[in-house]
Amino acid sequence: MDAHAVAETEQGSVFFLYLNACAEVGATTSPIDFSVIYLSPVRLETYEEHIAGLTTLDGLLDKLRAVHPNFDAALATAEEESYAHSLAMVRDGVLTRLHAERLRARLTQGELAAKAGLRQPNISRYEKVGVAMSIRTAKRLAAALELADYKVLLP
Partner 1 sequence: MRDRFEVKIEKPAVEMLLEMDERDAALLSQGIRQLEVEPFPVSQKERETTSMAFAILVKRGYQIRRLKVQDVLGWRVFYYVDTRNQKVLVKEVIARTDDTYAPAAPHVRRLVENYRRYFCREVEH
Interface positions with partner 1 (CB under 8 A): 44-47, 50-51, 54-57, 59-61, 63-64, 67-68, 70-71, 74-75, 77-79, 81-82, 89, 94-95, 99, 102-103, 106-111, 120, 124
User: What element of type H or E holds 18?
Assistant: strand 13-23
Of residues 137, 132, 134, 106, the one with CA closest to residue 119 = 137
Phi, psi of 20 (to 5 degrees): -95, 85
C-beta of residue 123 within 8 angstroms of C-beta of residue 112:
yes
Minimum gap (Å) between residue 58 Cβ and partner 1: 9
Minimum gap (Å) between residue 33 Cβ and partner 1: 35
Nearer to partner 1, 26 or 69 (CB): 69
Rounded CA separation 82/102 (Å): 12
What is residue 79's three-state secondary structure? Answer: helix
Minimum gap (Å) between residue 50 Cβ and partner 1: 6
Nearer to partner 1, 25 or 54 (CB): 54
What is residue 103's three-state secondary structure? Answer: helix
Minimum gap (Å) between residue 126 Cβ and partner 1: 14
Nearer to partner 1, 50 or 151 (CB): 50
Nearer to partner 1, 110 or 117 (CB): 110
Q: Beta partners for 17?
A: 5, 39
Rounded CA separation 34/18 (Å): 10
Minimum gap (Å) between residue 15 Cβ and partner 1: 17
Nearer to partner 1, 4 or 106 (CB): 106
